[in-house]
Amino acid sequence: MSRIGSVVVWVVVAVAIGLARQAPAPAPPAPPPGSPGIFKSAAELAEVLRKAAPNAAGMTLSPVALNDQYRINLVHRSKAAGALTHPGNSELHYIVDGSGTVVTGGTIVRGQGAGDATIQGGESRRFAKGDVVVIPANSPHWYSAIDGSVTYLEVRWLAPAK
């Protein structure tokens, strides 16, 4: 192999290793049928939220169960964030505390910066403690206004293939 060929091979290997390190680890499998249930106390979940640093969108997570079939988190948001969608996943949000406005459906309109996408033509609803929002797979959703903060239980599961 020529010297140039060797250099090219090493560059390709280095890039592949770098990409492999950046790729997220696959989610662990869901517990098999008949397994014991998962239990997290309110105190445990609250402590994780208290210690977590919010991301750029002002969101913190307290994971309940994360696997290849579903993701369950207690989510706390201190500010509104951009609209988004989760391809292949349906979601249920149970509002534990707080209030604001959520927009679902419609079309995502990308803004100039990261996290400032909005929804055009969606349905806007006020929400408060105790409310439930069900978001079908691939549906845009957006907490467009938050009155102080909101905490919700997020249950995201794989939508059945059609």
In the prediction, which pLDDT does 57 show?
Answer: 83
Letter string b/e over residues 55-90, b meaning 16 or more CB atoms within 10 A of that residue's CB: eeeebbbbebbeeeebbbbbbbbeebbbbebbeebb
Q: Are 87 and 95 a contacting pair, CB within 8 Å? A: no
pLDDT, average across residues 132-155: 96
Domain assignments of the chain as residue spans, ordered by start? 40-158
Q: How far apart are the first and last CA of the chain?
A: 50
- pLDDT (tens digit, 9 = 90+) per residue, 1-35? 566 555 444 544 444 455 445 566 788 999 999 99
What class is the 40-158 domain? Answer: mainly beta
Structure tokens at 73: 């988190």
The answer to which of 9-13, 42-46, 61-65, 135-139 has the lowest mean pLDDT is: 9-13
Q: Which of 3-12, 29-38, 41-50, 93-102 has the highest mean pLDDT?
A: 93-102
In the prediction, which pLDDT does 141 show?
Answer: 96
In the prediction, which pLDDT does 58 show?
Answer: 86
Q: List 101's β-bridge partners, or say none.
A: 126, 145
In the prediction, which pLDDT does 11 show?
Answer: 47
**pTM greater than the 0.75 cutoff:** yes
